[in-house]
Chain A
């Protein structure tokens, strides 16, 4: 089947198969990098690469959670609101209890939100769209209620100095958010490729009924992926809150759509069963470098939105062609 999908090309008399559907995004990514490098001598510098990797780390962590949910043919619309809520609970807890309890409370908040959404999907049998939409409203409201709609800016100096390292620190050349993102990637890559849980996630996304008949506890898998999505949103929120040195009640608003966009651009199917965190890397980096390049070139942010939308359309179109052919 793969061969049927592959395009046959001939260069220098040698025949090779290039699956454009599979490598389309990586190839487009490299072409984009080349074009932007020609257009600006500020683009492909070590400093700027580090800058984009640091910026993209937060979106990557969130998008990994979305990837897990999409692989089971679900969708998590609550990620952005969970980010806002965790930003507030973390900042408030940092003020009251200090660094470690603050971070733990933040992580537990995200995990709790994700678990509730998972239970609504897995046990109460609500559609993922509906359950996560409901959680979006609840988390949004709680984030605003937590401090009467005001940001938390009075984190004590001794706490904020250490906390800032999570979002703005470096280990050698590497920004701390990037290191966190790499660790998240390695764990999830291992889980998806080498563990029973990973195989079950793909199986549930591929065909729920078949997975159920083969003895997989589908409900439990759904609860786990939503809980992990909440956990990863919380982790991203803590990095973001550390970058902003304050808790913000509406900071996550755009992240749900961004994580969906990045995951879809990467090639993970909305219908589940195909894709993974490696795909998501390309989706996130594509958006990250494109936005950065356009910012450096001074291209309007209005135009940037149009371009990101166009990339999503092209990416989904390519993925759907591949699906139809197979």
Chain B
């Protein structure tokens, strides 16, 4: 009986595999440009804004954008599998925000060998054949944060640095940028540096402990906005008042914006994710069409304080009210 079942299964499988084992029947007859967007963590509002930018630009350009989410920065291996799968799918271009820079190099090189155009978005991927890179300069952001702290504290502040998820290049660069400036201000004391995941729960947990250890903290520099939200919940629970501890973070979800308006966040770094994503999509489509594109595009965070809120155009940092990702 067992042999019969296995034989039947094998025969059925072989019959169906005969459909296209030697490759897809319809290959060249493609009208539509397909761009795969590989993101590390769509649970983060920042990436949802970016997806709004990618999908809106794709619609405008008449191309199809497909979203692939690794589900967290730790899922390096999953993202590698996703890249391999879209290579098999035969997309025209990949916009690639790696979970980690080095890990994806072999698969990205393979994708390029298969004729797929690759735009490296935001987190550096050192694959030598990448066609174009668009990148936020996190080292510059780190420097800008540190310079603001040095100026505000007149060179005598007590600082906690939360650079975000461990192992990410942008997180490392953000930290290194701050350290590079702070080391020139001997009066500034770095109380602690703690890596943690970029979500509210992780920020809350880490900050609850740090506030016990360092109740005299004056400045906290944070990675993206969900982590910052967790930090503020911990400060609130510890009985701190808005602005009593000056929090520096970046990106602007609705909640972060209201925390900023209430004075819980003193400085916000804005990188215009919607604009950046549109730009990435335009570059990817231009590459597929054989047009010339810049090899490197740098994006810098604008530092925003409350007194600048009314005079700053926030559209490139936000999505229309009520917009949601469709699954």
Residues of A within 8 A of B (CB): 16-19, 23, 26-27, 30, 33-34, 37, 40-42, 44-49, 51, 54-55, 58, 144, 149-151, 153, 164, 168, 240, 243-246, 248-251, 253-254, 291-292, 295-296, 298, 300-303, 305
Size class of B's contact patch? 35 or more
Interchain nearest-CB distance for B93 vs A (Å): 14
Surface stretch bound by A, among B20-28, B138-146, B287-295, B309-317: B20-28
List 7 other contacts, CB 8 Å, given A19-B1, A295-B68, A296-B86. A30-B13, A37-B16, A44-B20, A45-B21, A45-B22, A48-B88, A251-B77
Per-residue CB contact flags for chain B residues 52-84 toward chain A (1 = under 8 Å, else 0) read: 000000000000001111111111111011101
Stretch at the interface among B101-109, B154-162, B238-246, B264-272: B101-109
A291 to B71, CA, bound (A): 14
Q: Which one of A33, A249, A292 contacts B85 once the chains associate, using CB atoms below 8 Å?
A: A292
Query: Could you say which residues of chain B place their CB within 8 Å of the CB of A298?
Result: 66, 89
B82–A303 CB distance below 8 A: no
Q: From residue A245, how far is it (CB to closest CB) to chain B in Å?
A: 6
Closest to B84 in A: A51
Asked whether any CB of chain A lies closer than 8 Å to the CB of B323, the reply is: no
Contact indicator A296/B85 (Cβ below 8 Å) = yes
- CB-CB < 8 A to B5: which residues of A? 18, 23, 26
Q: Is the CB of A245 within 8 A of B106?
A: yes
Closest to A167 in B: B106
Task: Using A42-B88, A45-B24 as known contacts, say yes or no to A149 and B167 having CB atoms under 8 A apart.
Answer: yes
List 7 A-B pairs, minimum CB-CB distance, nearest first: A295-B85, A244-B103, A149-B166, A246-B102, A41-B24, A250-B74, A300-B327
- Of the A-B pairs whose beta carbons lie under 8 Å apart in the complex, a sample of 13, sorted by A's number, is A17-B1, A30-B12, A41-B24, A47-B23, A149-B167, A244-B100, A245-B102, A246-B102, A250-B73, A250-B74, A250-B165, A292-B85, A296-B86
Seen from chain B, the residues whose Cβ lies within 8 Å of a Cβ on chain A are 1, 4-6, 9, 12-13, 16-17, 19-26, 42, 66-78, 80-82, 84-90, 100-106, 165-167, 172, 195, 327
CB distance from B211 to the nearest CB of A (A): 22
Report the Cα distance A54→B88, complex, angstroms.
Answer: 13
Contact partner of A58 (CB less than 8 A), chosen from B24, B77, B167, is: B77
Q: How far is the CB of B109 from chain A (nearest CB, A)?
A: 10
A302 to B70, CA, bound (A): 10
- Shortest Cβ distance from residue B323 to the other chain A in the assembled complex, whole angstroms: 16
B20, A153: Cβ atoms under 8 Å? no
Q: Which residue, of A16, A40, A301, has the highest number of chain B Cβ atoms within 10 A?
A: A301
Q: Is the CB–CB distance between A248 and B9 below 8 Å? A: no
Minimal beta-carbon separation of A33 from chain B (angstroms): 6
Q: List B contacts of A144 (CB < 8 A).
A: 166
Say yes or no: B25 contacts A41, CB within 8 Å: yes
Q: B residues within 8 A CB of A41?
A: 19-20, 24-26
- C-alpha gap A243/B165 in the complex (Å): 22
